Structure 1
Amino acid sequence: MNKFKSIYEQKKLFILLLIVFVLFFTFFFVTKTVFASNSKATSPKLVTSITIERGDTLWSIATSYMSSEYDNVDQYISEIKQSNGLMSDTIHVGEHLIIPYYE
């Protein structure tokens, strides 16, 4: 009976250590991912609304509002399109766009 209790205690200890190990590595990787995704953001992301004027393109708008938090203009244009539900690069005079930007 004593031998059976000892094996049971060893299994409990093993399971406890396994749970601690999994939690530790889960915390480590989640924390690393969060810090990596926020490492470029030096200020809070804000939004503004603009009215499209004659001659405006997504490229010209993006180059006006883009900051160093974005890797390139294409990435920023993609975010503008996603923020506005645009499926193409076509915009029209008089429409309003939501423009995300960093302060």
Structure 2
Amino acid sequence: MNKKSLFIGVIVSAAILSMANLVFASINTGGKENTSSSIEVVVEPGDTLWRIADQYNEQAGMSVNELLFYIQKENQLQSAIIQPGDHIIIPIK
């Protein structure tokens, strides 16, 4: 294989990877722009992540379980344990 063939192979591979990235990105977002906003909630004594997700799931347009997962992921929580004074970001449509 000469240098020209190798160069063409690298260019074609890069183009294919770029196109695949665009396809998977549009699948992940459903092809729509993310127009949702978020609110910040300060955890009060007695609050649980489940209760917060249950309180805001309709505004977020998600089930309680979906919102619970989203909150943990977006707030980089290792578990569902939260403490009074914690600031939690919640998506709102």
Normalising TM by the smaller chain, what interval? 0.5 to 0.7
CA distance in 2 between counterparts of 1:96 and 1:63 reads 18
Unaligned runs of 5+ in 1: 1-9
2:85 corresponds to 1:95: yes
**TM-score calculated relative to the size of structure 1:** 0.58
Quote the RMSD (CA, aligned, Å).
3.2
1:37-93 deviations in Å (ceiling 9; x for gaps): 22276643433222334653211211232334x5x533432332344454333334x
Identity %: 20
Give the match's secondary structure for 2:2: helix
Shift of 1:25: 0.9
| 33-42 or 16-25, which deviates more | 33-42
Query: Which of residues 64, 71, 77 in structure 2 aligns to 1:73?
Result: 64
Number of matched pairs: 91
Q: Which amino acid aligns with 2:12?
A: F
